[in-house]
Amino acid sequence: MDDLYAKITARRGSLERLMEKIPGFRGYMEMSARRQADRLIREHVAAQLKQQLNRLAQIEKMLLDTGGLRYMSQTRSAKTKFQTFIDRIATDRPGYSGFFDANKITADDLQVIYAFDEALLDYVEQFKERLDALQEAAQNGEGVEGAIQALDALGMEANAAYDLRENILKGIA
């Protein structure tokens, strides 16, 4: 019995050999890791964006406190686009094709998706910058409308970029 145990345990660490013996297993494991990475990236981005969205609520309060009621419909529009973007990132299912899915993601598609994921991280910084500009405009009482419009435009752009990412994952693009 000890010989059998020794023989079996000597084969530990043979995951590579197992992966070679089962067709498609390596790809399955890689896809699982990609799905996990996709989820982690999106959770991180959504958390960072939620912090920025909370800043928008504080800026709106500052505007209201200084008589800026006339800006609330504009900030609501920007906030809706911003919140939609966050919700899409946070609630989207893991984006890479599963083992038996009809739509397979190619290596080229993955490179494009990674570029879009990097862009998601860039949007965190861009929203921060636009909110900084809006906060400064609110404090100075000048340029508020333009700052809100810039924030609103960024929300539209970010959602359009996410549409493109989804199209790649669906095999549309």
pLDDT tens digits for range 162-173: 998 888 777 776
pLDDT number for residue 34: 72
Please report how the helices 72-91 and 144-170 are oriented relative to each other, as an axis angle in degrees rounded to 10.
Answer: 20
CB 117 within 8 A of CB 41: yes
**Confidence class for position 125, pLDDT limits 50, 70, 90:** very high
Q: Buried (b) or exposed (e) across 17-36, using 16+ Cβ within 10 A?
A: eebeeeeeeeeeeebeebbe
**Span 122-128, average pLDDT:** 96
Per-residue pLDDT reduced to its tens digit, 58-102: 999 999 998 889 999 999 999 999 999 999 999 986 655 444 454
What is this structure's pTM? 0.77
Q: Are the C-beta atoms of 40 and 121 separated by less than 8 Å?
A: no
CA distance 154 to 149: 9
Could you tell me which of 45, 65, 58 has the C-alpha nearest to residue 127?
45
Residue 41 has pLDDT above 70, yes or no: yes
| CA dist., res. 56 & res. 10, Å (int) | 60
Backbone φ and ψ for 23, nearest 5 degrees, come out as: -60, 130
Q: How confident is the model at residue 54 (pLDDT cuts 50, 70, 90)?
A: very high
How does 140-164 read in b/e, with b if 16+ C-beta sit within 10 Å?
A: eeeebeebbebbbebbeebeebbee
Higher per-residue pLDDT: 165 or 108: 165
Segment 126-142 shows an average pLDDT of: 96
| Residue % of the chain over a pLDDT of 70 | 72
Mean pLDDT confidence for 16-35: 66
Whole-number Å distance between alpha carbons of 32 and 42: 16
Q: What is the mean pLDDT of residues 51-62?
A: 95
